[in-house]
Chain A
Amino acid sequence: MIPAKPSLPELPEDVILSVEDLEVSFAVRSRARFRAVRGISFTISRGETVALVGESGSGKSVTAMTIMRLTEYDGAAITGGRVLMRFKDGKVADLAKLSEKRVEALRGAEISIVFQDPMSSLNPVFTVGDQIAEAVVHHQGKTLVQARQIALNTLKLVRVPDAERRLDQYPHQLSGGMRQRVMIAIALACRPSLMILDEPTTALDVTIQAQILDLVRALQQEIGMSVLFITHDMGVVAEVADRVCVMLKGEIVETGTVYDVFAKPQHAYTRALISAVPRLGSMADKDAPEKFPLLVFEPERQLAEAGK
């Protein structure tokens, strides 16, 4: 599908995505630009889950949207770096340089994204089945009947109970958790090699969040896809990620395996993020409520650490 030029960049065999020195900036005023992403690099291997963690405004969602080449619709431009991706046929291309037409063919087929708010990311006037089938018809050229069967199988894959009936329901008839499952089904329908989940559980209850996290883990074991998981919650990171990249103001300040980052967080900001996660049982022997023992992140100290 993607004709590779002979001179194209190479990727190690098991790497699906390699982001190299990516810079993204938004036009703010006539000449000023805001640098939302400032030269970040990370890779995702086959079957791996990488978590991109940071607070609102850290640039984590801009990174995700840039990989999907969606930020340019918001007035952003890729001002530096490469986004190398290995496709299902083994070829490698730089997503940052592809034409819109070719990117269009990749979205859903090779990379897909699930957004935070399942209420507003489904179309209210089409049935769930039609919305899943749409991607299959578009990318794989299947007939409507075949696509409907794939839609049904995908709904079963994401453990939607009573999938046959759900197929003909509209989004308003589903709960928030079911809608997010449908979003994941749409993202999975064409079996992409990379799925980006952008805060998929932030709008959901904790019980439903646990269900979705379990589902993501199970899906990965079943179909071996790579996941880029974006979140602000280190508690969620601990549950799903293999590797972690901590983002602060457009830069990755710490990266490592999930075990290393939680056992020995190196950066003061990572420690501050971990300290804010409520830990069940931390109050077990206390009679009165207690405040969170927050570590305040001071940029001055960070500079001092960087300088030493």
Chain B
Amino acid sequence: MNASSPMKEIGRPLVEVRNLVTRFDLKAGLFGHVSGRVHAVENVSFDIFPGETLALVGESGCGKSTVARSIMQLDKPRSGSIRFDGVELLGAPRQVAAKFRRQAQMVFQDPFSSLNPRMTIEQSLIDPMRVHKLGSLETMRARAAELMAKVDLAPELLERYPHAFSGGQRQRICIARALALNPRLIVADEAVASLDVTIQAQVINLLMDLQRDMQIALLFISHDMAVVERIAHRVAVMYLGEIVEIGDRRSVFGNPQHPYTRKLLSTVPIADPTRRPEGRVPMSDEIPSAMRAPDFVPVELPMHQISSTHYVRQVAAG
């Protein structure tokens, strides 16, 4: 019904995630027997195309960060498949993993703890290039200055330490560092959640400019549907470790099918005092825990197709 994503014509997806399962064992007692299990990610599948933004939306604890960390090889998935540019990453030899790490970079939520306070900005920007042995110190320094210009910061600031910068500037530096290796994939894990609204908008605009210029694929993780509507080409809504709705942005926002997607949409503040949700009954329900008994077998409900690009999971009865 909607025009399919323009990225489809490019052909093969850059990232193909299939049936990803990541669980964490909870150990108890003297011998550390498994007393429970957190089903953080259950059977998650999606693609990301070059130059495309896939937004992963959900509340705290829904497993969206674990998906990101699993892709980045920071958490070890239990089963499934993650292919990057056609190459399987799970169980891949070290050379493959090292090559992947050059092409995929991450921007974290908190720009205060993701920059080393004892390194100058220049050292932080050069660090990834140094690890991957890209050229002499002079070329790396020139590259660092280039990166600063890319994120609209003055190259003179390179000699300073992180404490001299505001939150928004630090997040720009983190983005510059992620760009240092010319990545093809950037995973932004709540990268704007801790910023003021004005700064948040600026950083999102910057990410969109960089994506357009460099054809980077972006996995954008967020809990805020209003932000996602701006930046995403496609949206995946996660609830309790599962994707409950996935589709192109227009279709998911224009025709949300899953009750959880509708709930997320209804909670976005409306910047118009004349449309205040006056009658809304104060709720206090929380997202249920994904912690299960060790012998728990998850029930997989089928996905239904809404349009060529839009799928929704069947809602559990009762």
- Chain A 55-83 residues near chain B, CB threshold 8 A: 55-57
User: Do residues B269 and A207 form an inter-chain contact, with CB atoms below 8 A?
Assistant: no
B150 at the interface (CB under 8 A from A): no
- Interface residue stretch chosen among A3-11, A145-153, A283-291: A283-291
Partner of A262, one of B196, B267, B271, B286: B271
User: Do residues A259 and B268 form an inter-chain contact, with CB atoms below 8 A?
Assistant: no
- Chain A 163-211 residues near chain B, CB threshold 8 A: 175-178, 181, 205-211
B24 at the interface (CB under 8 A from A): no
Distance from B31 Cβ to chain A, minimum over Cβ atoms (Å): 25
Nearest neighbor of B265 in chain A, beta-carbon distance: A280
- Chain B 52-68 residues near chain A, CB threshold 8 A: 53, 59-60
Distance from A20 Cβ to chain B, minimum over Cβ atoms (Å): 27
Residues of chain B contacted by A280 (CB below 8 angstroms):
225-226, 229, 253, 265, 268, 270
On chain B, which size bracket covers the interface? 35 or more
B282 at the interface (CB under 8 A from A): yes
A234 at the interface (CB under 8 A from B): yes
User: Do residues B197 and A233 form an inter-chain contact, with CB atoms below 8 A?
Assistant: yes
User: Do residues A178 and B254 form an inter-chain contact, with CB atoms below 8 A?
Assistant: no
User: Do residues B229 and A282 form an inter-chain contact, with CB atoms below 8 A?
Assistant: yes
User: Do residues B286 and A177 form an inter-chain contact, with CB atoms below 8 A?
Assistant: yes
Nearest neighbor of A289 in chain B, beta-carbon distance: B231
Partner of A205, one of B60, B200, B249, B269: B60
Kindly state the separation between the CA atoms of A290 and B232 in the bound complex, as whole angstroms: 9
Kindly state the separation between the CA atoms of A56 and B165 in the bound complex, as whole angstroms: 13
B227 at the interface (CB under 8 A from A): yes
Kindly state the separation between the CA atoms of A234 and B273 in the bound complex, as whole angstroms: 10
User: Do residues B280 and A289 form an inter-chain contact, with CB atoms below 8 A?
Assistant: no
A287 in contact with B3 given A206-B224, A258-B273, A294-B202 (CB within 8 Å):
yes
A40 at the interface (CB under 8 A from B): no
Distance from B274 Cβ to chain A, minimum over Cβ atoms (Å): 7
- Interface residue stretch chosen among A27-35, A95-103, A105-113, A235-243: A235-243
User: Do residues A211 and B269 form an inter-chain contact, with CB atoms below 8 A?
Assistant: no
The count of chain A contact residues (Cβ–Cβ below 8 Å) is 55
- Chain B 212-252 residues near chain A, CB threshold 8 A: 223-227, 229-233, 249-250
User: Do residues A159 and B60 form an inter-chain contact, with CB atoms below 8 A?
Assistant: no
- Interface residue stretch chosen among B9-17, B119-127, B203-211: B203-211
Distance from A3 Cβ to chain B, minimum over Cβ atoms (Å): 39
Nearest neighbor of A287 in chain B, beta-carbon distance: B3
Give a binary string over B251-263; 1 marks a CB under 8 Å from any A CB, 0 the rest: 0011000000001
- Chain A 273-306 residues near chain B, CB threshold 8 A: 273-284, 286-292, 294
Residues of chain B contacted by A307 (CB below 8 angstroms):
none
Partner of A279, one of B199, B265, B271, B282: B271
A262 in contact with B226 given A211-B283, A235-B197 (CB within 8 Å):
no
B6 at the interface (CB under 8 A from A): yes
Distance from B62 Cβ to chain A, minimum over Cβ atoms (Å): 10
User: Do residues B283 and A292 form an inter-chain contact, with CB atoms below 8 A?
Assistant: no
A210 in contact with B267 given A205-B59, A289-B249 (CB within 8 Å):
yes
Kindly state the separation between the CA atoms of A214 and B223 in the bound complex, as whole angstroms: 19
Distance from A272 Cβ to chain B, minimum over Cβ atoms (Å): 7
A288 in contact with B233 given A207-B264, A278-B201, A279-B226 (CB within 8 Å):
yes
User: Do residues A232 and B201 form an inter-chain contact, with CB atoms below 8 A?
Assistant: no
Distance from B277 Cβ to chain A, minimum over Cβ atoms (Å): 8
Kindly state the separation between the CA atoms of A211 and B167 in the bound complex, as whole angstroms: 27
B166 at the interface (CB under 8 A from A): yes
Residues of chain A contacted by B285 (CB below 8 angstroms):
161
Kindly state the separation between the CA atoms of A273 and B200 in the bound complex, as whole angstroms: 11
B272 at the interface (CB under 8 A from A): yes
A288 in contact with B6 given A210-B267, A283-B229, A283-B230 (CB within 8 Å):
yes
Sample of 8 more A-B contacts, CB < 8 Å, known A262-B274, A280-B225, A289-B233: A238-B270, A259-B273, A278-B224, A282-B230, A287-B3, A287-B6, A289-B208, A294-B202
Chain A residues with CB under 8 Å of chain B are: 55-57, 159-161, 175-178, 181, 205-211, 213-215, 217-218, 232-236, 238-239, 241, 258-259, 262, 272-284, 286-292, 294
Chain B residues with CB under 8 Å of chain A are: 2-3, 6, 53, 59-60, 166-167, 196-202, 204-205, 208-209, 223-227, 229-233, 249-250, 253-254, 263-274, 276-277, 280-286
8 intermolecular pairs with C-beta atoms under 8 Å apart? A57-B166, A178-B286, A206-B268, A208-B59, A238-B273, A280-B270, A291-B204, A292-B205
